Structure 1
């Protein structure tokens, strides 16, 4: 009887330990809320998510590989516009006509070439490195247009150099993209100016203290139905 009693206690103890182990594995340690949210984020298999802006992402993979640009759906376009309106607080300012001509970027020009023409950017141009992570590190005042698909990104955070150059595409028409950045820049007190280049590129520039930007927007018609955008920013440390 004693042997059977001891054996029964041992079996119960083993089952209890297993149950505790399963419970511990299921619940795990208390996770950081930001990390938990990022890990529970939807997997990027939905076409509406494949081009999502990572500007507010808690965790971003440091990769040079851009996500493939998938055909946008009407729902995705509507969602991008809704996200843009939310960022702007429901405000959409009228954009004035271009008051001057701007110099075009050189054919085949690099991100460093673009950065070099931004006030304060010349000293940083030769120090930038590439990586999609830089799109997520744009200043909050000037993010990638909501759900825009980043094609390339460059940046530097070293000493006095805090600069970004990001190229992305969006199905939103150029006029709406310009209106978004005009409103956003005005809200951030950049006092933006609008100009055109001879190759039909829309240009917005602005400066606020030691922060400055140069935005280039052009219609991709003839190659695709997307709007092509290149944004260069310089922010003092």
Structure 2
């Protein structure tokens, strides 16, 4: 008797399921008819609506086989944010322009044993702080209001420009209230001695004094010029790849 009752319940459930499915199909058909009838004009159905529903979809065979060439596609490899090597624009040898390599450079004098400027460079966390510790004229006062932008690297004094293959990292400057101070951090693929000699040659040819200090791998070249109260200081360290990192501060000058 129990099995008979269970069988009856199962048959009743299947019957209800079938009825529900048929009812759902009828409801869909009814909905379609209501949508069509809702657009009827008088007793006639809207011919535009009937045509849209019953006509075949038009397909252009010549376009169906073409891919969408303007579609956005994923890159063939992940995008990387790696910084290119310093010598990428100078060739694998790290050589710079022929005008620079062919020019006769003066040899920088041997450094003094004492290097107080090396300590200043290590203790300065920003270009502004490094500039504030430089002596001469209004350098320290003007350093307090320096503004940061790499554009300042293009406004260095003409006598002491960027090294030819310099890759600028950061720059700052101040031209307000009679100030004319610039500071820039850059790297070069050239070895430290070549960069040092290049700036020593330019500084002395332009009438600057030039004093060389060093403490281990840290080198400082700095000097002043009386005619325009100009002053400069370069802080150089060798890189592990054979190049040179440089921080430069220049005040006044032309």
TM-score range, shorter chain: 0.5 to 0.7
1:91 corresponds to which of 99, 104, 109: 104
Match of 1:220 in 2: 239
Match of 1:204 in 2: 221
What SS is found at the alignment partner of 1:165? strand
Q: TM-score, normalised by structure 2?
A: 0.59
What is the aligned partner in structure 2 of residue 110 from structure 1?
126
Name the counterpart of 2:168.
150
SS at match of 1:109: coil
* Distance in 1 of aligned mates of 2:147 and 2:185: 14
Matching of residue 187 in structure 1 with residue 205 in structure 2: yes
How many residues end up aligned between the 2 structures? Answer: 165
In the TM superposition, what is the alpha-carbon distance from 1:80 to its structure 2 partner?
A: 1.6
1:61 matched to which residue of 2? none
- Higher helix content, 1 or 2: 2
Residue 164 of structure 1: CA displacement?
0.6
What is the alpha-carbon distance in structure 1 between the residues aligned to residue 207 and residue 245 of structure 2?
A: 25
Verify: 1:72 aligned to 2:91, yes or no. Answer: no
Does 104-113 or 178-187 show the bigger shift?
A: 104-113
Query: Contact 1:92/1:183 (CA < 8 Å) preserved in 2?
Result: yes
Structure 1 stretches of 4+ with a deviation exceeding 6 A read none
Q: Give unpaired runs (5+ residues) of structure 2.
A: 1-81
Q: Give ranges in structure 1 of 5+ residues lacking alignment.
A: 1-66
- CA RMSD in angstroms comes to 2.3
Decide whether the 8 Å contact of 1:150 with 1:166 is kept in 2: yes
Q: Hey, what does 2:6 align to over in structure 1?
A: none
| Deviation of 1:213 (Å) | 0.5
The structure, 1 or 2, with the larger RCO (C-alpha pairs under 8 Å, 6+ apart) is 1
Larger radius of gyration: 2
